[in-house]
A and B are shown apart, each in its own frame.
Chain A
Amino acid sequence: MSDLPPMTSVKRWLVTTNHKDVGILYITTALFFLLLGGAMALLFRVQLWEPGGLGILEPVQFNQAVSTHGLLMVFWFLSPIASGFANYLVPLQIGAKDLAFPRLNALSYWFYLFSGILFVLSFFQGQTYAGGWTLYAPLNVPMYTPAMDATAGNNAAILALTLFVMSITIGSVNFLTTIHRSRAEGLGLWNMPIFTWSWLLTVWMMLFAFAALLAALLLLSIDRLFLTQYFMTDQGSSLLWAHLFWFFGHPEVYIVFFPALGIMFETFQTFTGRRLVGRKWVIIAMVLVAVQSFLVWMHHMFLTTINLEIKTLYMATTIGISLPFDLMVFSLIYTMVKGRVRFTTPFLFSLGALVLFILGGITGVFLGAVVLDYEFRGTYWVVAHFHYVMVSGVTALVAGLYYWWPKITGKMYSEALGKLNFAVYFIGFNMLYFPMFLAWETPRRVFHYGESAQIYHQIATVGAFVLGLSFLIMFFTFAKSWISGPKAPDNPWEYSRTAEWAIPSPPPLENWDGRPSYASGRLEFVDDSPAATDGGVAHGQGTTTEASVEHEAEHADHASIWPFGIGVGTFVFFLGLSGLTPFVANFAEGTAEPPEGLDGFATQPDIMYPVLIALGMAIMAVTLFQFGREKFDAPVMNIAERWPFGGIGNTKFGIWVFLASDVIVFGAAIGAYIFMRLHMGWMDWEFDPITMAGLVNTYILLTSSFTVIIALVMAERKNKSGLLGAMGATVLLALAFMGVKAFEYTQKMGDGHYWWYSIEYSIYYVTTGLHALHVILGVLVALFMIYRIISIDAYLEDHRPVEFFGLYWHFVDIVWVLLFPLFYLM
């Protein structure tokens, strides 16, 4: 499918893969979740009107409202709206026609949307998750908390988050490939627009941080669905969760804030008419923060039993991360001082964001000190600080909405309404969050508090409604502009300096007719038609030229229904999984060694859920197959800046990036094993492996790696039967591997050692099972490739897909290289 219906057609929005369309979808969906998260906040702010609660919510409903507010805002609003801006603007700012993998971009969006729908559905499946947005163990499992019963709703919320993280991972791979490999000629990294810089660092952080969260969520989901013990033991489980979650969670603060910061930089430049002061140092500071963000996570664990030495170390690294931020803040202030400020709506929101961020930053320093954190942890001080930081980011994102609204819609908005919006927003924000500092002794996530704090809570509740009102004004302003606003020029801002302002508002489908180039030091559009390129096109150092020049003239596709279809299938499958627990619990009870404490899991089985699992798998099978078969052209830029990733194709680079993320997923799972074993005492680990089974499987998997490499050699030699034979042998070896695994598992279960038997067996089954799942996925891909070789002589002219498959398969082999000694020898 390649024809893209008009924007007024619903079909357009189901099939589009164009980055601007996907950007609009992201932004509008994120705004919907903002409203939902905001409604949750208003609900519990009303409950907090008086100590002990006003009575509009039951205690567990209050917990649900607080938890889902946090989850919705952090995951389904903040990152996705930034992703929307990035989708729309990053290709424009770097001179690309689209993202590197347009269909995967659409798939990211559909996974995001369906994860949100699944999360919303969780409210209607018994009850949704109520254990706080940090999902702390053991609150996150049904073992000790009746409120956490393994209802389908509780499970659905966790699975929704898992699906959301899958969306983020796909998006990160796509953006990293795009920004590193599709920058216009002459656009070196130093000269890249600052918003794109902020997004580049965001996606690098996302790639590694969200992979750790994915691992944590997979383990948690398996605990909830299959009764494993990761987060249910009374020794080490809560620390394990805290380490995995905060290894993700602290970088997440910057993941959320960096795009907002990028918008602040862009708008400060535009509305002061001055280049950002110390621009290179600002970029270096952002890089430093991105690196340091992975070195501070244990400051969220000062009240746990981690040792004092590491707490002291993490206090120091926490102080350290504030320093690059100081530089960025001073750069913004100095840019304002040196420039001529025009107080437009976007600038006001950006300036407001800066003021609020300074307050949020300063109040966070208190929490970085171990001794003070002992006092402040779990109080409203944290809530106030956290919101001053995160919602200052929201403030800048609203600035972004106003700033790029004319570009995206082609309509101007009313400045008077915009300024009114800002005034109400700023007053509401401070009325809501500042009293929380004064009411700091209020315990977090509890509606019982001292009477002396009542006045502060009442001001905060009024502030919440004022802040809510400001968003209504914002929607009204945009609606009015959309319906009757004057037409926006290409560039409504006098001193804007990025490429999106050099093209019409809204931009055409393929962004530009000529090829954008910065080779001369300024933006130009080069005509690359044969007559014009006679004699060659000059290009800068570091620019690489793809061999396949004919691709430039290729027709680019912008439509595919299959990403939507895969999204539907995955959604149905995950929805089905959410009701699996009672079936597993029933099975467990029927075994010789049932687990203890099944009370929390004892909900009634509903046959609808297994049916949904089967249906979801069927839909996924069909849509993935069609996705693989579909001919979809996404032309690669012939001339582009690609440092430091020149000399490698887009797809291969994308696979390497994905594997880097998978290293973290497996690393976290293996790390969980090492951590729990260390916690228990290395030699006290009671697990009896079938060593010979592990050794045999090692030989089998190594041999399959060899057959895959033979397949590549055969493809290079255009030897069809050799290629088929090698791929077929790989599949057979993989099946043999799975057979040995099945034998092994059967033996273990025969001895009564099910996955719930102990933490040792839980980790053994899950880690080797996660690896086996990778083997199964590899087999499915290999079978598809065999089908393509038989049906259309695939890979004989272009052997790269065989190599790409090999990259994945060898990675699976590498993981086994580690699992074998860890689980069968040590």
Chain B
Amino acid sequence: MANLRTYTLIYILLVALATGKFVFFEFNFAYATAIGGTILLAITKILLIAGYYQHLIEEPRAISYMMATAVFMVFLLVIAAGYSIQ
């Protein structure tokens, strides 16, 4: 398990990243850029929370693969269904 200092640093980072998402849409970024940037920030936040707060980096790799499979299933459903109506 990480120590309190690491947890605190990650918390600060998470707050900064959340603010970043807001900034993308409140200032004059192109819509596509704002979406792309926000997705990147969201993925970074999710990886930080899962990796350090949920300690996924310390668990057996198989747990990460299982969760990645679940996420893949969602992408499969959403992308295929979305493509089907294009």
- A663 x B74 contact (CB < 8 A): yes
Contacts of B45 in A (CB 8 A): 814, 817
Of B11, B22, B42, B73, the contact of A294 (CB 8 Å cutoff): B73
List chain A residues, Cβ under 8 A from B34: 825
Of A106-114, A355-363, A373-381, A666-674, the segment with at least 4 beta carbons within 8 Å of chain B is A666-674
**Shortest Cβ distance from residue A577 to the other chain B in the assembled complex, whole angstroms:** 27
Q: Does A370 reach chain B (CB closer than 8 Å)?
A: no
CB of B4 within 8 A of chain A? yes
Judging by beta carbons under 8 Å apart, are B84 and A811 in contact?
Answer: no
Q: Which residue of A lies closest to B63 (CB)?
A: A656
Closest to A821 in B: B38
Chain B, range 19-48, C-beta contacts under 8 Å to A = 19, 21-22, 24-26, 34-35, 38-39, 42, 45-46
Say yes or no: A826-B77 contact (C-beta < 8 A), given A659-B67, A702-B11, A807-B54: no
Contact of B38 among A305, A678, A699, A825 (CB under 8 A): A825
A75 vs B21: C-alpha distance when bound (angstroms): 44
- Nearest CB to that of A813 among chain B residues? B49
- In the bound complex, CA of A236 to CA of B85 (Å): 9
- A645 at interface by CB-CB < 8 Å: yes
- Chain A nearest CB from B55 CB (Å) reads 8
Q: Is A720 an interface residue (CB 8 A)?
A: no
Stretch in A552-560, A626-634, A706-714, A760-768 touching the partner: A706-714
Number of A-B contacts (CB under 8 A): 155
Q: Within 8 Å of chain B (Cβ to Cβ): is A441?
A: no
Residues of B within 8 A of A705 (CB): 11, 14, 49, 53
A660 to B76, CA, bound (A): 15
Cβ contacts under 8 Å, A646 to chain B: 60
Q: Is the interface of A mostly helix, strand, loop or mixed?
A: helix
Contacts A307-B85, A663-B70, A706-B7 hold; do A814 and B46 have CB atoms under 8 A apart?
A: yes
Q: Cβ of A675 < 8 Å from any Cβ of B?
A: yes
A663 touches B42 (CB 8 A): no
Restricting to A651-695, which residues have a CB under 8 Å from any CB of B? 653, 656-657, 659-661, 663-664, 667-668, 670-671, 674-675, 678-679, 691, 695
Q: Is A445 an interface residue (CB 8 A)?
A: no
Contact, CB under 8 Å: A695 / B7: no
- Contact (Cβ within 8 A) B60 A814: no
* CB atoms of B1 and A712 under 8 A apart: yes
Is B84 in contact with A310, judged by CB distance below 8 angstroms? yes
B82 near A678: Cβ-Cβ < 8 Å: yes
Closest chain A residue to B81, Cβ basis: A243
Chain A residues near B15 (CB-CB < 8 A): 699, 702
* Chain A residues within an 8 Å CB radius of B21: 820-821, 825
| Chain A stretch 700-724: residues in CB contact (< 8 A) with chain B | 702-703, 705-706, 708-710, 712-713, 716
Question: With contacts A695-B18, A699-B18, A814-B46 known, is A310 near B83, CB below 8 A?
Answer: yes
What is the CB-to-nearest-CB distance from A750 to chain B, in angstroms, rounded to a whole number? 24
- Alpha-carbon distance A178/B64, docked complex (angstroms): 19
Which residues in A have their C-beta under 8 angstroms from that of B3? Answer: 713
0 or 1 for each of B54-86: is its CB under 8 Å from A? (1 = yes): 110001111100110111011011101111111
A667 with B77: in contact, given A695-B18, A712-B1 (CB under 8 Å)?
A: yes
* Minimal Cβ-Cβ distance residue in B for A642: B60
Do B81 and A675 touch across chains, with their CB atoms under 8 A apart?
yes
Q: Which residues of B contact A647 (CB under 8 A)?
A: 59-60
| Cα separation A674 to B70 with both chains bound (whole Å) | 18
- Among B4, B46, B54, B73, contact of A806 (Cβ-Cβ < 8 Å): B54
The CA of A681 and the CA of B73, in the complex, are separated in Å by: 24
Given contact pairs A660-B69, A664-B70, A716-B1, A644 touches B62 in the complex (Cβ within 8 A): yes
Residue-wise, chain A 750-783 has the 8 Å CB interface mask toward B (1 for contact) of 0000000000000000000000000000000000
Contacts of A803 in B (CB 8 A): 55
Which B-chain residue is minimally distant from A692 (CB atoms)?
A: B22
A582 to B78, CA, bound (A): 34
Counting CB contacts under 8 A, is A698 at the interface? Answer: yes
Closest Cβ neighbor of B24 among chain A residues: A825
In the bound assembly, the distance between CA atoms of A349 and B7 in angstroms comes to: 60
Is A792 at the interface (CB under 8 A from chain B)?
A: no
* Distance of A50 Cα from B74 Cα, bound (Å): 47
Residues of B within 8 A of A645 (CB): 60, 62-63
Residue of A nearest to B73 (CB): A208
Closest to A309 in B: B83
Residue of chain A at shortest CB distance from B7: A709
* Complex-state Cα separation, A674 to B63, whole angstroms: 27
Q: Mark A783-826, 1 if CB is under 8 A from B, else 0.
A: 00000000000000000000100110011011001101100011
Query: Would B67 and A656 count as touching, CB distance under 8 A?
Result: yes
CB distance from B57 to the nearest CB of A (A): 13
Known: A648-B60, A663-B71, A706-B7. A818 touches B42 (CB 8 A): yes
Question: A168 within 8 Å of B by Cβ?
Answer: no
Most buried by A among B38, B59, B74: B74
In the bound complex, residues from chain A placing their C-beta under 8 Å from that of B78 are 667, 670-671, 674-675
CA distance A713 to B78 in the complex (A): 38
Contacts of B1 in A (CB 8 A): 712-713, 716
Q: Are B63 and A817 in contact (CB under 8 A)?
A: no
Contacts of A301 in B (CB 8 A): 84
A667 touches which one: B63, B66, B71 (CB < 8 A)? B71
The 8 closest A-B CB pairs, nearest first, are A667-B74, A306-B84, A644-B62, A663-B70, A671-B78, A660-B70, A243-B81, A706-B11
Sampled A-B contacts (6; CB under 8 Å): A243-B81, A306-B84, A667-B78, A821-B42, A825-B24, A826-B35
A671-B78, A702-B14 are known; give 16 further A-B pairs, CB within 8 A.
A301-B84, A305-B85, A647-B60, A656-B66, A667-B73, A675-B81, A675-B82, A678-B86, A691-B26, A695-B22, A706-B7, A713-B1, A813-B49, A820-B21, A821-B42, A825-B22
Q: Which residues of B contact A (CB under 8 A)?
A: 1, 3-4, 7-8, 11, 14-15, 18-19, 21-22, 24-26, 34-35, 38-39, 42, 45-46, 49-50, 53-55, 59-63, 66-67, 69-71, 73-74, 76-78, 80-86
